[in-house]
Amino acid sequence: MVSNVPSTTHDPIRGVLIARPMDAANAMVAALKLRQIPATALAATTVSGIAGETWPDAAPDALIFLSRAAVAFGQRVLNLYPHTPIIAIGAGTAAKLREHGRVVQYQPAHASSEGLLSLLAELPALQHIGLVCGRGGRDWLASVWQARQLPLTRFEVYERQRAQLDTSVLQPIRRAIQTQALKILTATSVQLLTDALALVNTDSVRLQSLALVSLSPRISEQAKALGFLDITTVNQADDAHLIATLALTWQRYTSR
């Protein structure tokens, strides 16, 4: 079982707070440290598989894997439709599929729902799509596809829940926000953002003083609704662009 305790437990908490699944967050902490940027991981959301789902025998025209977790928990879908073309939403998801020996036929230019729709517009033969995702994930993408009266099957293979973290993990993060030692927050989904804020549970004025670096327009919209004032959305939803944007934001803060 993966620990929810940040890898930076013994370091002073300052700089960037990264709300994403722990393995990915720890990798980003390490990448930022190479750039001399202090960072702390916060696994605000846990992921677990969903068992017992039944799916149709007829294969969709393509399976779209919407996250690395979809790959980790979606092996039964791959085994059920072994000859169905595969679309990966982004580079990380594609790499995870290749680790499992799968060929990725398509990948959108931009790792987003909008990017997927642009890709699918170039592939008119793909009428019936299968979304391999978490429970309730990508509702907007599904609604757009169904509004076109095209068939869609959801393969919900995992679910996310707010993590249960010890006060010993959360209290240092709260103090770092209150003292403004933490300058930047990044979250890679709306749920991670809302779960992180619920766990930290500090006063809204301090939270709004953080710069938010967002992976998608929908996360940015949610952050604005929550009262964040300094919001930057990355140009492309992948780790390389996220790290580069975090570095630029950190430079902006440290040069003041």
- In this prediction, residue 87 carries a pLDDT of 97
Residues of the chain with CATH 3.40.50.10090: 15-44+165-254, 48-161
Q: How far is CA 134 from the centre of its chain?
A: 11
Residues 173-182: what's their mean pLDDT? 91
Check whether 142 has a pLDDT greater than 90. Answer: no
In this model, does residue 7 exceed pLDDT 80? Answer: no
pTM for the predicted model, two decimal places: 0.80
* Residue 29 identity (one-letter amino acid): V
What pLDDT does 203 receive?
64
CATH code, residues 48-161: 3.40.50.10090
Tell me which H or E stretch contains 240.
helix 239-254
Mean pLDDT, the chain, rounded, equals 89
Class of domain 15-44+165-254: alpha beta
